């Protein structure tokens, strides 16, 4: 019984350290631009995160799009007086599903591509919000190889 108490005390003491290693926790918000929709971000450590979006694309043909990216953040590159402004970059994937109701949309195949996001994210000092802007080169691989770009801005609220 005594071992269980010490184990519980040890877990409670270490728990805040595990939480702070996630930097900003899990965030949800909106992304506007190409694409436009819901943005999710989950911090894996103090400089790495997974970023997701479920959104609508207005590029060429209207389509539903889902993307997921692994991001690295450099907090030392740009210094600001309050909060932080990390430069981030990463790699991920995107799938686009066509909208059958779009006139002239004869492309009946899903498109699959590789994303290389580059951006800035302002993290407020006393509020669990971030504002971000990104530019994303995309290499479409399926159904044919093509190069495209997208850009977006957004805001997310983080739960700790």
154 found inside a domain: yes
Q: Which residue has the higher pLDDT, 41 or 100?
A: 41
Q: What is the largest CA-CA distance in the chain?
A: 72
Q: How large is the average pLDDT for residues 104-124? A: 85
5 found inside a domain: no
Q: How would residue 49 be classed by pLDDT, with cut points 50, 70 and 90? A: very high
Sign of the four-CA dihedral 65, 71, 74, 80: positive
State the pLDDT at residue 72. 98
Q: Which helix (DSSP H) or strand (DSSP E) does residue 29 occupy?
A: strand 26-33
16 found inside a domain: no
State the pLDDT at residue 109. 74
Percent above pLDDT 70 for the chain:
78
Q: Which domain holds residue 75?
A: 24-159
54 found inside a domain: yes
CATH number of the domain where residue 108 is located: 2.40.160.20
Structure tokens at 5: 């108490």
pTM: 0.79
Q: How many domains does the chain have?
A: 1
């Amino acid at each position: 019984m005594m071992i269980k108490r010490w184990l519980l005390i040890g877990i409670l003491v270490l728990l805040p350290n595990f939480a702070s290693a996630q930097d900003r926790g899990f965030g949800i918000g909106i992304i506007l631009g190409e694409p436009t929709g819901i943005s999710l971000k989950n911090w894996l450590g103090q400089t790495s995160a997974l970023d997701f979006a479920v959104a609508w694309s207005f590029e060429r043909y209207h389509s539903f799009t889902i993307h997921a990216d692994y991001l690295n953040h450099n907090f030392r590159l740009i210094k600001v007086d309050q909060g932080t402004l990390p430069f981030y970059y990463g790699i991920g994937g995107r799938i686009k599903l066509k909208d059958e109701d779009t006139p002239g949309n004869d492309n009946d195949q899903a498109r699959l591509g590789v994303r290389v996001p580059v951006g800035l994210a302002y993290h407020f000092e006393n509020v669990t919000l971030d504002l971000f802007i990104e530019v994303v080169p995309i290499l479409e691989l399926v159904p044919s190889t093509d190069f495209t770009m997208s850009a977006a801005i957004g805001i997310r609220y983080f739960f700790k």
